[in-house]
Amino acid sequence: MFYENRLVLPEKKAKVDQQKSDFIKHVGQTSLIPHGLEVAHAKGMYIFDTKGEQYLDLNAGIAVSSMGHSHPNVLEAIKTQSEKYLHTMVYGEHIQAVQVSYAKLLSEQLDESLSSVFYVTSGTEATEGAMKLSRRVTGRYELIACKNAYHGSTLGAESLMSQTWMTQAYRPHLPGIRFIEFNNIESLSAITEKTAGVFIELVQGCAGVQVIEKAFLQALKERCVETGALLIFDEIQTGFGRTGKLFAHQHWNILPDIMLIAKAMGGGMPIGAFVSSKKYMDHFTDDPPLGHINTFGGHPVCVAAAQATLETLLESDLISRVDQKAELLIREISHASIKEIRHKGLMIGVDLADAVMVKKFLHAAKEARLLIDTFLFNETSFRLAPPLIITEEEIKLAGAKITSILNNL
Ligand SMILES: Cc1ncc(COP(=O)(O)O)c(C=O)c1O
């Protein structure tokens, strides 16, 4: 399991400083064994701890800090917007220039059928919004997701999760959820005239970077068109250049009816969205209105950060260099102990012999001041998702450290 791969036992170790024990005592925890890095500051490719140690970040907060930590353009945008106004009204009521210009800029990068952006506060909320929208548009209630997918952690989004070890304590979940096998065309027969929406990641992140096959994606699209089910691409992890295109679906030229985004969108600030045609999105506005509402969706400071992020990505060569950087990184880490490497751009899963070896590897990586993470649903792999700004030198440094760790396991 994901958390069993963490070997840091902050509270159980003999010398626990006050900050760590207060962290355990007062900050809600998600596991018994948090990573426990005490962050002092973060800049570019590095996170610095309170002892002054610097860690090369090969994880980017799980595909969030794609432009590196505290990118100057993002900081500037946050400063400029926060000096104008912060929150003024619940989402959707006031016209805020920053929301309008970002939605327009984002739409310009997408097919014209994806022209309406509904702002939310996280990836999970984007999933929730799309679950509701697909039901409103189709008048149906069944939803389909893939086995080993991850679309979020609220009760609705979690209903789309097949991994019962994570979900069974929270039952009952939403009724009418069916699971299909990723990359198995035969399982598409589960999509019927009763299906409201089909959720899918084009590269399954938490399953250890499983890349969709073109024939499966084409058959999925055809099946959705045939049955009238909405096709929903979860681009929360794959978005904003991570796979070598601005959005992963642009590799395959197959369009969703709804696209979910979050994570790297805000350049380190909390924001997400679901994007569809205006025709579909308008279902939320009437009979009944207020189809999805929130207080902080599209917070102007977060949207300003998102705008700076997108503009920087579009103006720079960060996305066009993703493949070249991924190839170099894969070459640099090549080692006899590695069983398989799966990747799409800089979304990389590396298989070792077994889960014990992954545990040992991660422990040694932390000692070597490398930030590398695990996968929720794949215990024999480790995850590399560095910021897209990683340089050739940093790739070589990471490669040298990783191969040295593997030599000594
Ligand atoms: C593919 C995918 N969908 C949804 C989510 C949920 O996003 P958030 O954690 O912002 O709620 C994640 C988060 O890891 C994700 O990777």
Q: Going from the N-terminus, what domains does the chain have, and what CATH number goes with each?
A: 3-66+318-408 (3.90.1150.10), 72-315 (3.40.640.10)
Q: Is the CB of 207 under 6 A from ligand 1?
A: no
pLDDT of 13 reads 52
Residue-level pLDDT at 391: 98
pLDDT attached to residue 389: 98
Does 374 sit in the ligand 1 pocket, CB within 6 Å? no
The sign of the CA dihedral 366, 368, 371, 373 is: negative
Tell how far the Cα of 151 is from the centroid of ligand 1, in angstroms.
Answer: 5
Rounded to the nearest 5 degrees, what angle is found at the Cα of 345, between the Cα atoms of 340 and 347? 65
Q: Assign 297 to helix, strand or coil.
A: coil
Would you mind telling me the total number of residues written for the chain in this entry? 409
Query: In terms of Cα–Cα distance, which of 179, 175, 131, 180 is closest to 152?
Result: 131
Alpha helices in 5-122 (DSSP H): 18-26, 60-63, 72-84, 97-108
| Vertex 238 angle, CA 361 and 106, to 5° | 150
Is the Cβ atom of 150 under 6 angstroms away from ligand 1? yes
pLDDT of residue 16: 56
Give 152 Cα–ligand 1 centroid separation in angstroms: 5
Residues 6 or more apart from 228 whose CB is under 8 A from it?
138, 193
Give the model's pLDDT for residue 1. Answer: 45
Classify the C-alpha dihedral 347-353-355-358 as positive or negative.
negative
User: Which atom in ligand 1 lies closest to the alpha carbon of residue 238?
Assistant: 1
CA of 222 to the centre of ligand 1 (A): 26
pTM for this prediction: 0.96
Helix 355-367 and helix 392-408: axis angle, to 10°?
A: 120
- The pLDDT score that the predictor gives to residue 221 is 98
Q: Is 156 in the pocket of ligand 1 (CB under 6 A)?
A: no
> Which pLDDT does position 33 carry in this prediction?
87
Tell me the best of 62, 66, 151 to mutate to test the pocket of ligand 1, counting ligand atoms within 8 Å of each CB and taking the most.
151
Q: β-pairing, 116-120 with 177-180? A: unpaired
Select from 66, 107, 61, 43 the least CA-distant residue to 318. 66
Query: By the 8 A CB rule, do 293 and 124 touch?
Result: no
Q: Is 234 in the pocket of ligand 1 (CB under 6 A)?
A: yes
Instruction: Specify the pLDDT at position 355.
Output: 97
161, 162, 203, 237: which to mutate for ligand 1, most atoms within 8 A of CB? 237
Mean pLDDT by 10 residues, the chain (409 residues): 48 65 94 92 97 97 98 98 98 97 98 98 98 98 98 98 96 97 98 98 98 98 98 98 98 98 98 98 96 97 98 98 98 98 98 97 97 96 98 98 97
CA distance 135 to 291: 11
Tell me the torsion sign for CA atoms 86, 87, 89, 94: positive
Q: Which two tokens stand for residue 64?
A: 């969030």
Collect contacts of 40-43 with beta carbons under 8 A, ≥24 apart: 41/70, 42/69, 42/70, 43/68, 43/69, 43/70
Q: How far apart are CA 273 and CA 123, in angstroms?
A: 7
Distance CA 229, CA 193 (A): 7
Q: Return all residues near 260 (Cβ < 8 A) that are at least 6 apart.
A: 123, 126, 127, 130, 151, 232, 233, 234, 235, 236, 272, 273, 274, 275
Question: What sections of 146-288 are H helices per DSSP?
Answer: 155-158, 164-167, 214-227, 249-252, 278-281
- Tokens at 123, concatenated: 């990836």
Task: Classify 54 in phi/psi space as left (phi over 0), alpha (psi -120 to 50) or beta.
Answer: beta
In angstroms, what is the span from residue 123 Cα to ligand 1's centroid?
5
